[in-house]
Amino acid sequence: MTKPRKSRTFVSLLLDVGVPVGSYYLLKGAFGLSAVAALGWSSVVPVLRTGWGVLREREVNALPLLILLANLAGLLLSFGTGDARLMLVKDSAITSLVGFALLGSVVLGRPMMTATLKPWLVKGDAVREAAWGRLRRESSAFRRAELRFSAVWGVAFVGECGLRIVGVYTLPVDTMVWLGTVVMIVTMVVAFVVSGALGAGPMVHMIGAAVGEAASADLGDTVLEAEKNSLLVGSTHG
């Protein structure tokens, strides 16, 4: 991972995780807001950031759009009921919606995580891009790995939802604000490792092999062309 990409990842984590958790305790402790109000205002930054990302992209990506709509619906529902625990469940509902959407995309053979995964694997390289397209057409093993990648994330998000709902209704709200974040981070780390082992890792190897084969084929064509030219030159001199 390059340094600029690491910086972008850190900023994303800060805005999506650090700011909401920190602002909740600040608004509730220092400014005396209720748990519902603190949770609501602490959700503003992630909602705005997701909305800006959806507007900025020329092509609408279903995953961030789904997250944005679920966030907005959850905020409206939570403020309408005034239930702090329901606001925390809203976060779980978002992850479960995303998880079920991912699993549905796997069943339909159109894995949603591909839009996120592909740029990381092809790295903007035309040769790797061509290898990706060829493998998707010709390799069932490649397509299975692609499906497994989205399936792992789908299962992880649905499982995380279940854990957080149990925590919301068995633990204090103030505890679940930070513990829910811990559950989310641990879930993402586990999903990253497992999806890498079952999906992204095998795909990287297959793309590398396809690129190598293409390079060998191009080299062979170059050698044959050179030999042909050499024979033509020899016959002309003869």
Q: What is the mean pLDDT of residues 175-188?
A: 86
Q: Is 171 left (phi over 0), alpha (psi -120 to 50) or beta?
A: beta
Q: How confident is the model at residue 10 (pLDDT cuts 50, 70, 90)?
A: very low
Distance between CA atoms of residues 67 and 149, nearest Å: 19
H/E segment holding residue 35: helix 35-42
Looking at residue 108, its pLDDT comes to 95
Distance between CA atoms of residues 215 and 233, nearest Å: 27
Dihedral sign for Cα 36, 189, 105, 165, please.
negative
Dihedral sign for Cα 44, 48, 50, 54, please.
positive
Domain segments of the chain: what residues?
3-237
Which of 21, 29, 8 is CA-nearest to residue 179?
21
Looking at residue 38, its pLDDT comes to 64
Say if residues 99 and 156 touch (Cβ distance below 8 Å): yes
Looking at residue 6, its pLDDT comes to 45
Looking at residue 220, its pLDDT comes to 46
Where does residue 77 rank: exposed (0-12), middle (13-18), buried (19+ CB within 10 A)?
middle
Say if residues 149 and 73 touch (Cβ distance below 8 Å): no
Looking at residue 223, its pLDDT comes to 41
Packing angle between helix 62-81 and helix 84-107, nearest 10 degrees?
150
Q: 231 or 216: which carries more pLDDT confidence?
A: 216
DSSP class of 196: I
Distance between CA atoms of residues 180 and 169, nearest Å: 12
Distance between CA atoms of residues 109 and 204, nearest Å: 20
Q: Rg of the chain over CA atoms, in angstroms?
A: 24
How many residues are given for the chain? 238
Say if residues 66 and 105 touch (Cβ distance below 8 Å): no
Which of 63, 27, 26, 69 is CA-nearest to residue 47?
69
Interacting residues of 11 by C-beta distance below 8 A, sequence separation 6+: none
- Token pair, residue 146, equals 């692609």
Q: How confident is the model at residue 88 (pLDDT cuts 50, 70, 90)?
A: confident
Q: Is the pTM of this model over 0.85?
A: no
